[in-house]
Structure formats: structure tokens, C-alpha cells
């Protein structure tokens, strides 16, 4: 997520002009730099975001242990998710506005979409067992092996883990785990927010509350929200 967010934020800032060191597209002709601007254009927001994220987020992952490889893999997966959500848009501007000349560009996705996709991958993450070595000169050129040999190896957009997560049910201050005592849960959900899973089988308390809420809101660009205040009866479940 960090790598995805950094990629996204840097690409965005490049477009806004708030980072002045964004580069041109080097794939076309390496090292031509700003002179390129007049000749063939200079636009490479996502590419710069990608490289910046690699240099910045992956800076700590210098070692050759499996954990670092896993981190690298997951960071790459985050960036891959940003790139894969980019959408191409085109505009025709040929003779009399016809499509004899067409220019296309990539549209940056909403970070919310990227994070939701990553959450899906997180839920379906696989356990990595070992890393196949790649050539030394490219630290991203390696392939992780699955923990269970008969499983499929993780793809570039899949997330992997080495150890299973600790138990989040009980409070464990040393690991920074708050436990789920007193958390609100949803009694109809079968997911992790459902009362069965979240309360770890301890059961839950049900209360009926009267709350005052904003309702029937109408919204106007840019900043105006007009709401009524309604009194509603709400059923709240809390983990024991």
C-alpha cells in the first residue's frame, strides 16, 4: 500500500507541477533530457512515480534474505496495481477535427480503487516459501516460490506473506494489538466485520440506542451539504 500510495502521490504531484524534478519519458531515448521537450515531448508522470517509489520505499530492502524479497515483491505488486488501473483516453484532432490525428494519454486512477484492489489481494494472499535467485544486476528480477509446492507461484500483482498473522483477538500491547473487546460488529455479515469472526467466539452484547443523525442530505458543489437531523433507533452489537 505504501508503495502504491507513493507512486500515486508522486505521479499526481508531477502533474500538478509541485515537484519540479519529474523526468521525461526515458524509454524513448535515454539521456536526452529536457531538450526532448521541444523535440518530442516530455511527459512521464507515472513512470517517475514508479521509479521514485522504488528508490524511496524500497530503500530499506537491501539485503538478500527472504523477508526483503517478500517486501520487494509486495511493493512491486502495489505499484503494479496503480499501473493496471490507469485508463487510456484519446482525443481526435485531425483535419476539421477528424480522427486522422489522435493523441492518447493515461488517466490516473482513484487511490480508493487501488486500495480496494489491494485489500482483495490481501485477503487472498499466499504464503511464500522461498525465493528463486535472479541475476544480480536487477534486484527486481526474482521469482518467489509458494509455500505449498503444488500451489501456483504468486503473480506480479499478488501479495505474499512469510508468517501467519498473530492472533488479533486478544490484547497484546507488545505487538501493538488492541484486541477486539468492545468493538462494534455486524451480526449479519459473514466477513471479518461479522460478529462471529470479530468477537472470536466470545459472543456479543446487543443494545438499542436512539441516536440523532444527519439524514436526507443534499449536496452542492463545492462544499455545501444541507442535511436534516433525524432521530433513529439503532441496534448496536458490541463484542464482549
Partner 1 sequence: MQGTIVENLSGRKLSVLVALLLLAQVACFLIGGLIAPTPSSAYNVLGTNCVDTGNNTPRWFYTRGHGACRNLELSDYKDQDSKLEMANKVVFVFQIPVPRENVVLDYSRWQQNLIGVLQFDVAYHAENEMDSRTIITIDAKLGYRNKGDPDDAWKPYASALEERSLDCVIDNRKTDYYYNCSIVPLFELGSLHHDFYLLNIRLPVDHFKHMNEKLGQLENMWLITINQNGGFTKVWVSLKTVFFPFIVGIMIWFWKRVHQLARPPALLEYMLIFLGGALTLLNAPLEYLTLYFDMPFMLLLGDIKQGIFYSALLSFWLVFAGEHMMVQEDNRHNHLRVYWKHLSAVGVGCLSLFIFDMCERGIQLRNPFYSIWVTDIGTNLALTFIILAGISAGVYFLFLSYMIWKVFQNISAKRSVLPGMSSVRRLHYEGVIYRFKFLMLATLLCAAMTVVGFILGQVAEGRWKWDESLEIEYTSAFFTGVYGMWNIYIFALLCLYAPSHKKWPVESESHSNSVSEEIEFSRLPTEPSEISSLASFARKAALD
Q: Which residues bind partner 1 (CB under 8 A)?
A: 12, 14-18, 20-24, 28, 33-34, 37-43, 45, 89, 91, 93, 95-97, 99-110, 112-113, 116, 217-226
Q: How near is the Cβ of 182 to partner 1 at its closest, in Å?
A: 26
Alpha carbon 100 to its chain centroid, in Å, reads 38
Q: How near is the Cβ of 229 to partner 1 at its closest, in Å?
A: 12
Q: Report DSSP state, residue 143.
A: E
- Separation CA 46–CA 4 (nearest Å): 11
Q: How near is the Cβ of 31 to partner 1 at its closest, in Å?
A: 11
Spatial contact of 157 and 81, defined as CB atoms under 8 Å apart: yes
- Separation CA 118–CA 216 (nearest Å): 33
Q: How many Cα atoms are found within 13 Å in the side-chain-facing hemisphere of 156? A: 10
Q: Report DSSP state, residue 194.
A: B
Q: How near is the Cβ of 41 to partner 1 at its closest, in Å?
A: 3
Say which residue the cell 437531523 belongs to.
Answer: 229
Q: How near is the Cβ of 149 to partner 1 at its closest, in Å?
A: 36
- Separation CA 86–CA 106 (nearest Å): 6
Spatial contact of 108 and 4, defined as CB atoms under 8 Å apart: no
In the bound state with partner 1, the residue whose beta carbon lies nearer, of 99 and 240, is 99
- Separation CA 63–CA 95 (nearest Å): 57
Grid coordinates belonging to 131: 525465493
Query: In sequence order, which residues have a C-beta less than 8 Å from that of residue 223 and are 6 or more positions away?
Result: none
Alpha carbon 202 to its chain centroid, in Å, reads 33
Q: How near is the Cβ of 60 to partner 1 at its closest, in Å?
A: 27
Q: How near is the Cβ of 35 to partner 1 at its closest, in Å?
A: 10
- Separation CA 130–CA 153 (nearest Å): 10
Amino acid at each position: 500500500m505504501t508503495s502504491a500510495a507513493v507512486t500515486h502521490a508522486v505521479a499526481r504531484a508531477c502533474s500538478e507541477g509541485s515537484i519540479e524534478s519529474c523526468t521525461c519519458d526515458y524509454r524513448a531515448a535515454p539521456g536526452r533530457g529536457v531538450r526532448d521537450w521541444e523535440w518530442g515531448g516530455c511527459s512521464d508522470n507515472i513512470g517517475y512515480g514508479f521509479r521514485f517509489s522504488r528508490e524511496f520505499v524500497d530503500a530499506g530492502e537491501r539485503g538478500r534474505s527472504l523477508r526483503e524479497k517478500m517486501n520487494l515483491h509486495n511493493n512491486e505488486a502495489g505499484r503494479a496495481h496503480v499501473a493496471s488501473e490507469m485508463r487510456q483516453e484519446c482525443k481526435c484532432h485531425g483535419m476539421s477535427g477528424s480522427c486522422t490525428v489522435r493523441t492518447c494519454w493515461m488517466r490516473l486512477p482513484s487511490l480508493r480503487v487501488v486500495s480496494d484492489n489491494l485489500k482483495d489481494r490481501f485477503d487472498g494472499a499466499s504464503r511464500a516459501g522461498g525465493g528463486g535467485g535472479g541475476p544480480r544486476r536487477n534486484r527486481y528480477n526474482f521469482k518467489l516460490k509458494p509455500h505449498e509446492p503444488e500451489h501456483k507461484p504468486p503473480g506480479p500483482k499478488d501479495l505474499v506473506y512469510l508468517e501467519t498473522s498473530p492472533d488479533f483477538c486478544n490484547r497484546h500491547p507488545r505487538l501493538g494489538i488492541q484486541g477486539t473487546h468492545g468493538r462494534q460488529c455486524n451480526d449479519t455479515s459473514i466477513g471479518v466485520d461479522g460478529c462471529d469472526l470479530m468477537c472470536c467466539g466470545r459472543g456479543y452484547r446487543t443494545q438499542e440506542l436512539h441516536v440523532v443523525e444527519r439524514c436526507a442530505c443534499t449536496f452542492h458543489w463545492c462544499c455545501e451539504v444541507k442535511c436534516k437531523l433525524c432521530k433513529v433507533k439503532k441496534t448496536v452489537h458490541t463484542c464482549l
